[in-house]
Homo-oligomer: A and B are copies of this chain.
Amino acid sequence: MFYPPKRILMGPGPSDVDPLVLKAMAAPLIGHLDPAFLNLMDNIQQLLRKLFETNNRLTLPISATGSAGMEAAFVNLIEPGDSVTVCVNGVFGERMSDIVVRSGGTLSRVETSWGKGPDVDAIRESLLLNHPKILAVVHAETSTGVLTHLSKIRELLNEFPETLLLVDCVTSLGGHSVGVDQYQVDFAYGGTQKCLSCPPGLAPITVSDRALEAIHSRKRKVQSWYLDLSMVENYWGDNRTYHHTAPISMNYALYESLRIIHEEGLEQRWNRHHKNHLAFVAGIEAMGLEMLVKSRDRLWSLNTVKIPDGISDGIVRAKLLERFGIEIGGGLGPLKDKIWRVGLMGTSSQKKNVLLFLNALEEILTEEGLVLEKNAGITAAERIYV
């Protein structure tokens, strides 16, 4: 048996999983066509709709991790030659671009620098030029900590009613409002291992009726058999036609994590993520460190801190892990060695984690030669909780 070391997961995901969810996963297996499992599937779909804030019938978990949710979105919506505009301001916009090309789409990229939100005027220009079938944005860019304001994207898209809106919610779902119906999102996907605090392995998706129509009226088959929603929907819908064997235990876990989420309440959960984020930022700034992203565009679930001059990313993260059992993430691409990515997602978004982290970081940075006012970070964070 593998006995994992005890960690506090404050990286870009997975986040800490509630013991009840772990317990749910340890239940004996039943078949994927067992009446009891079919009933569980219905319940999962209902709770997912509530989580996505939507009435979309086609709402279900894809049987693979979040990136497969991304791939499912594009391969189902794109037919060869379809024009797609992708807003790129981090790793996941880059990944979207890659998948668009692999899916035979004609790609237009609207880039902003990593750490900034998308530029609405630049998007408008691209839409005017390309009249794309799809506009794709990353709601929560896990590589930079930037939140895209969907209200502004929706407002813009009202000028382009033909364009479908595709949104990556992997790191926001369950931590921020995603407002799928409110912002008329046509295809949204998430992952289980972020603010849902369920192990990685499933990608919840939701598809609007008009996106589903686009899928149903395709001329060519979807290039992926595994992700072809016209077949997947028949297993999750009334027909219960066998497609592939659903990951049974992962669905037990997803159900339990959704139950816990709705027991807490979505609004309360978002507020908790917001408050812990504010305390975290107050602490970081009181220590004299800087956040990468400007206040208005910050994710609550993934916090990016600039690494001070002269401090080694690797040494600090290794000490956090070895001495405190705390996992955080490093920067990717152009932000490698420049930022830390600190997740406060789901179960991991807790006052005690914020305080422990600030304390640990102060201790390590002091060791590494920074001169810091003792307890300034913790004191500032605690003020937020009063």
Contacts and interface: CB of A to CB of B under 8 A. Distances in A.
A66 interface: yes
A4 B226 contact: no
A348 to B, nearest CB: 10
Interface stretch (A146-154, A241-249, A367-375, A378-386): A241-249
Contacts of A255: 2
B31 A200 contact: no
Interface string A1-33: 111111101010111110010111111111110
Interface stretch (A116-124, A217-225, A294-302): A217-225
A102 B221 contact: yes
A64 interface: yes
A4 B36 contact: yes
A250 B252 contact: no
Q: How many copies does the complex hold?
A: 2
A98 interface: yes
Give the interface size bracket for A toward B.
35 or more
Given A63-B65, A246-B200, A71 B6 contact: no
A191 B207 CA distance: 29
Contacts of A249: 22, 25, 199-201, 249-250, 253
A31 B252 contact: no
A193 interface: yes
Contacts of A22: 25-28, 249
A256 interface: yes
Given A16-B29, A67-B244, 15 more contacts: A2-B27, A3-B27, A4-B27, A4-B37, A7-B29, A7-B30, A14-B32, A17-B29, A22-B25, A22-B28, A25-B249, A63-B68, A71-B225, A200-B249, A247-B250
Given A4-B27, A29-B9, A71 B102 contact: no
A238 interface: no
A23 B4 CA distance: 12
11 contacts: A6-B28, A64-B226, A65-B244, A65-B245, A66-B245, A71-B226, A102-B221, A102-B224, A223-B223, A249-B249, A250-B250
B30 A1 contact: no
A172 interface: no
Contact of A30 (B9, B20, B248): B9
Contacts of A376: none
Given A102-B225, A193-B245, A32 B200 contact: yes
A31 B2 contact: no
Contacts of A191: 245
A34 interface: yes
Interface in A269-311: none
Interface in A22-54: 22-32, 34, 36-37, 40, 43
Interface string A59-75: 00001111110110000
A351 interface: no
Nearest to A200: B245
Given A1-B256, A14-B32, A66 B224 contact: no
A361 B252 CA distance: 31
A199 B64 contact: no
